[in-house]
Amino acid sequence: MPPGENVKGAVQPVAGSSGGIESLPDGVLQHILGFLPSPEAVRTCVLAQRWRHLWKAAPCLRVGCDLDQSESVEELRSLVNHLLLLRGGSPLEACYFTFYAGRRSHDDVSHVNLWFRHVVQMCKVRVLTLFMFLLGEPWLELDNLPVISQHLRSLKLIGVQVHNSLLNFSSCPALEHLELSCCELPPSVKEIVSESLKHIIVIASMCGWDSRIRIYTPNLVSLHLENFQGRTPILERMPSLLKASVEITIQCRDRCTNANYFWTCDNSGSTANGSINCVLLRGISEAKSLALRSASNMFIFKRDLRWGPMFTNLKTLLLNGYWYVPDDFHALARILERSPVLKKLTFEFCNKWCHKVEMKLCVSSMKRSAAISEHLEIVEIKCEVVDDRVLKVMKFLCAFNIF
């Protein structure tokens, strides 16, 4: 920039002053205000005449509490109503609502839904997070209405109840990221639909009790399902999938009461689209990286293997102890023989966060069994201690001339 010229929108520093923050353009100051909690950003209006309206165009709203400051919806009602009213339709890059649900008012539901729809439709928000600290309270119910936005790219919902219409994102062509944590998806929810979504995270959520939810997201790139309650969702084909992590815990209803009947145990429950053979594995079979964890008495993975999905792109595979129950390696053998280009195989013998021993074993280049990928290069073992289970898995692999 030539000497003597100023950045557009900047204010000339007063003679004899050093300039400082007052010399910055309005756009830069508004960007900075977006990092502040919204009540603090509003308070800057008393600094000087120039600051009076800057907060109204801050690109980010941060409303609510953290773990150290518990604020309910009722306590923040006046602030948020005036905040959104005075901002009008000023566009938002991001909005973060965080509320403490320990003191629920009967008007909370209507106010939260109003704020949610306002920032989506009036402010054209691109990144939206709604976080309710439940603390024993029922889920806050979001309206059973579709989300309509040409701008929304990321939606994160925590501690709320969502219905079928809201989870149909056909009218959100820019939406790429969806996260549902500690949410309830009641029986009325039949499907999650989006042709634009690229990333889905579902953690500790109630996903259908007697029927399975269908997930239709053909352009998904990454999927993370963990600790969901109720029935395992049905995954439709995801041809663009690169990475998926699925963890089925004891909260899932797809359990078999007798481990001797894993391969015939059905209990699949009703589905939104009638009978279906493969619930999970066929939908994620085109991924390049998979992490598949399950509690020992769940049947979905082993049941799905009966329908013969092939993992033709799979290069990295992580399996927990569910896949190699002592003296029963049928599930492990089946998934390995259906992974023809596998390069790295990881066995996780303990909780994923607490392994003390990690071994990386070099794979022999000698001719091995046709049941194992000829591209396999690394076998990794994570465990707390090298016990009998580890030795049995290694012995099983040695039978295929891997080492």
Q: How far apart are CA 215 and CA 194, in angstroms?
A: 9
| Chain centroid to CA 195 | 17
223 against 89, higher pLDDT: 223
Prediction pTM value: 0.86
Alpha-helical (H) ranges within 142-215 are: none
Q: How far apart are CA 250 and CA 240, in angstroms?
A: 30
Q: What is the mean pLDDT of residues 13-22?
A: 58
Q: Which residues contact 163 (CB under 8 A, 6 or more apart)?
A: 141, 142, 143, 144, 186, 188, 189
**71: phi then psi, degrees, rounded to nearest 5:** -130, 125
In this prediction, residue 273 carries a pLDDT of 41
pLDDT at 153 over 80: yes
Q: pLDDT tens-digit profile of 234-292?
A: 999 999 999 999 999 988 988 876 654 444 455 444 444 444 679 999 999 999 999 99
* Average pLDDT score over the chain: 85
Neighbours of 322 (CB within 10 A): 20
pLDDT at 12 over 60: no
> Mapping DSSP to helix (H, G, I), strand (E, B) and coil, where does residue 53 land?
coil
Q: What is the mean pLDDT of residues 192-207?
A: 95
Q: pLDDT tens-digit profile of 27-77?
A: 999 899 999 988 888 888 888 989 998 999 999 999 886 555 667 777 788
In this prediction, residue 89 carries a pLDDT of 87
pLDDT at 119 over 90: yes
In this prediction, residue 353 carries a pLDDT of 76
